[in-house]
């Protein structure tokens, strides 16, 4: 099976899952972003680095691409975005150990921000105007 056929099959499978689960547009976008569709050469081109660099990122645990049954790496949109961020941090002078720590802290920060947003929204729902008390 060619890489183009693999990608077409993956996109078809996503569409079928969307139809079966009747996902919202946001959920559909999230699902597509998580689906591994890019081979290593395409992902390397999208990120602007060599294939060996992507393999290094994987060895260091910075990215975990999906694998086909045959073992071929498949990178998702999320993987590509993450690898671009890794490149930015490396360009800023961080080594890969530092990049790993920054990425973990960014993930923690994002999770805390989501929790804060939920709490703020909940507080807004509990506050009533003075004339309704």
pLDDT in tens, the chain (133 residues): 455 566 566 666 666 666 666 667 776 677 677 777 899 999 999 999 999 999 999 999 999 999 988 999 999 999 999 999 999 999 999 999 999 999 999 999 999 999 999 999 988 888 756 565 5
**Architecture of the domain defined by 34-127:** Orthogonal Bundle (1.10)
pTM, whole model, 2 decimals? 0.70
Domain residue extents for the chain: 34-127
| b/e 72-110 (16+ beta carbons within 10 angstroms → b) | ebbbbbebbebbebbbebbeeeeebeebbebbeeeeeee
């Amino acid at each position: 099976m060619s890489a183009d056929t693999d990608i077409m099959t993956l996109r078809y499978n996503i569409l079928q899952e969307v139809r079966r689960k009747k996902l919202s547009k946001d959920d559909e976008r999230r699902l597509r972003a998580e689906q591994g569709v890019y081979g290593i050469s395409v992902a390397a081109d999208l990120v602007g680095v060599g294939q060996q660099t992507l393999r290094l990122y994987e060895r260091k645990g910075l990215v975990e691409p999906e694998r086909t049954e045959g073992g071929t790496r498949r990178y998702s949109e999320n993987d590509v975005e993450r690898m671009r961020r890794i490149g930015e941090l490396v360009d800023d002078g961080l080594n890969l150990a530092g990049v790993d720590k920054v990425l973990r802290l960014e993930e923690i920060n994002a999770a805390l921000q989501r929790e804060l947003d939920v709490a703020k929204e909940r507080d807004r729902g509990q506050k009533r105007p003075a004339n309704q008390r």
